């Protein structure tokens, strides 16, 4: 059993959306999953369509009135069980517990479930209180969603400090992964934040990001995960990839399976590309896509991808606007792979964390062309 705690004191950065959709993707991959709602707001229970203010929650477990096993709601979605939360859970912050036991309650209660689940996903509240500390103390991996906004980085240093403190005090290694969320990569500001996050958190950043899309909001409203609500959407693909990345992170022996899946995805992408090209031949609408590169000034940069037969700068218009290098291409909506050739050397796009392994052992960057991109007459 592996435990993934999704935590960030910053409110509204996508913790709950990530918890629901990650749990659902792991469940769909035939893993036995428990989603544990640790937020008294109860949003991840709601997001799975569970509404019951009178439900028992972890407060009853911490006070000894119930066992954790008794409050589990079985098979709420495709192999995912849920431990719901209600407002009562807020009172757990003030329970009179022994000081040496306060942060280890959850660990103690989860221990008997070790053989029952492959993954436990914990949705933490937006505070660094007792509940979040309990989650950090029991987690095998902490996933920090970061919203791509001016305030997105607020509080992250404190998260890192707290985890370092726990590491020191309890000699526990807790790997951290940072997930960019609410990404709108069409805006210059967002690309700037992505670049900053890459520089600041380096290897901790997962090579997946979650784009801003109303489909996710709609799915939450309907109380169903995105892989059920709109399985072909970009968000469904991104959460699936996140699930694969974390599985690979947590189990070395899962690498082979993940590589198989990655290979299957590559094949699926190639097929999608062929279909997109066929649509193009039938005069489908092409969209104008502009890629901007802020940190490659003064270098010779070419763009090659499966949209131009991997021929550097074929069908690409290059301009420099206000010192920023721009590459413009016309594409039908779909998912593409590309690489840059910087001063003659092939590499992935450093400002795009979304990547996939290629058959040559390197990484290709992923480009999503959505129908809302500007349409250009062909």
Ligand X SMILES: Nc1ncnc2c1ncn2[C@@H]1O[C@H](COP(=O)(O)OP(=O)(O)OP(=O)(O)O)[C@@H](O)[C@H]1O
Q: Under the rule (CB under 6 A), what is the footprint of ligand X?
A: 11-17, 39, 41, 43, 126, 181-182, 210, 212-213, 216-217, 220
- CA–CA separation, 121 and 35 (whole Å): 5
Q: Residue 15, interface with Mg ion (CB under 5 A)?
A: yes
Residues contacting 11, CB < 8 A, separation 6+: 126
CB of 23 to ligand X, least distance (A): 13
Site string for Mg ion, 27-56 (x = CB under 5 A): ----------------x-------------
Our CB check for ligand X shows the closer of 126 and 333 to be 126
CB of 342 to ligand X, least distance (A): 30
Which of Mg ion, ligand X, none does residue 134 bind (CB under 5 to 8 Å by kind)?
Answer: none
DSSP 113-132: GTTT-SEEEEE--SS-SHHH
CA distances from 106 to 75, 102, 120, 122 (A): 22, 9, 12, 11
Our CB check for Mg ion shows the closer of 14 and 353 to be 14
DSSP 183-205: B-TTSHHHHHHHHHHHHHHGGGB
CB of 286 to ligand X, least distance (A): 26
DSSP 276-314: HHHHHHTTPPEEEEEEEESS-TTS-EEEEETTTTT-TTT
Our CB check for ligand X shows the closer of 4 and 329 to be 4
Our CB check for Mg ion shows the closer of 43 and 292 to be 43
Which of ligand X, Mg ion, none does residue 234 bind (CB under 5 to 8 Å by kind)?
Answer: none
Our CB check for ligand X shows the closer of 14 and 152 to be 14
CA distances from 131 to 36, 87, 125, 138, 175 (A): 12, 13, 8, 11, 19
Q: Residue 16, interface with Mg ion (CB under 5 A)?
A: yes
Q: Residue 292, interface with Mg ion (CB under 5 A)?
A: no
Residues contacting 267, CB < 8 A, separation 6+: none
CB of 193 to Mg ion, least distance (A): 21
CB of 123 to Mg ion, least distance (A): 6
- SS3 label, residue 322: coil
Place of tokens 């700037």: 192
Our CB check for Mg ion shows the closer of 35 and 340 to be 35
Which of ligand X, Mg ion, none does residue 210 bind (CB under 5 to 8 Å by kind)?
Answer: ligand X
CB of 144 to Mg ion, least distance (A): 13
Which of Mg ion, ligand X, none does residue 364 bind (CB under 5 to 8 Å by kind)?
Answer: none
- CA–CA separation, 378 and 376 (whole Å): 6
CB of 20 to ligand X, least distance (A): 8
Q: What share of the chain is helix, strand, coil (3-state, %, to 5)?
A: 40, 25, 35
Our CB check for ligand X shows the closer of 220 and 340 to be 220
Place of tokens 């229970």: 45
Strand order in the sheet with 324-331: 317-321, 324-331, 286-293, 375-376
Residues at the site binding Mg ion, with contacts judged by CB under 5 A = 15-16, 43
């Amino acid at each position: 059993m592996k435990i993934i705690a999704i935590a960030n004191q910053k409110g509204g950065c996508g913790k709950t959306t990530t918890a629901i959709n990650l749990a659902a993707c792991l469940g769909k991959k035939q893993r036995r999953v428990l989603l544990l709602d640790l937020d008294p707001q109860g949003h991840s229970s709601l997001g799975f369509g569970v509404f019951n203010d009178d439900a028992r929650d972890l407060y009853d477990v911490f006070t000894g009135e119930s066992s954790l096993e008794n409050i589990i709601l079985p098979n709420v979605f495709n192999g995912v069980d849920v431990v719901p939360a209600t407002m009562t859970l807020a009172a757990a912050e003030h329970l009179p517990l022994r000081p040496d036991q306060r942060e280890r309650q959850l660990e103690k209660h989860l221990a008997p479930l070790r053989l029952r689940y492959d993954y436990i996903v914990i949705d933490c509240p937006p505070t660094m209180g007792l509940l979040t500390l309990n989650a950090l103390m029991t987690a095998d991996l902490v996933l920090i969603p970061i919203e791509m906004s001016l305030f997105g980085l607020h509080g992250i240093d404190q998260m890192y400090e707290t985890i370092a403190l726990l590491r020191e005090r309890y000699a526990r290694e807790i790997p951290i992964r940072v997930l960019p969320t609410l990404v709108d990569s069409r805006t210059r500001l967002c690309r700037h934040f992505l670049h900053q996050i890459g520089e600041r958190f380096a290897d901790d950043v997962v090579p997946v990001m979650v784009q801003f899309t109303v489909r996710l909001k709609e799915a939450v409203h309907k109380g169903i995960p995105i892989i059920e609500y709109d399985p072909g959407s970009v968000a469904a693909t991104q959460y699936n990839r996140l699930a694969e990345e974390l599985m690979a992170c947590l189990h070395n022996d899962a690498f082979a399976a993940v590589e198989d899946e990655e290979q299957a995805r590559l094949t699926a992408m190639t097929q999608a590309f062929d279909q997109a090209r066929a649509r193009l031949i039938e005069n489908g609408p092409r969209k104008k896509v502009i890629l901007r590169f802020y940190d490659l000034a003064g270098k010779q940069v070419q763009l090659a991808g499966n949209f131009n037969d991997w021929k550097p700068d074929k069908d690409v218009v290059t301009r420099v606007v206000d010192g920023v290098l721009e590459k413009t291409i016309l594409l039908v909506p779909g998912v593409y792979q590309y690489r840059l050739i910087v001063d003659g050397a092939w590499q992935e796009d450093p400002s795009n964390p979304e990547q996939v392994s290629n058959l040559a052992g390197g990484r290709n960057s992923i480009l999503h062309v959505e129908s809302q991109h500007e349409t250009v007459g062909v």
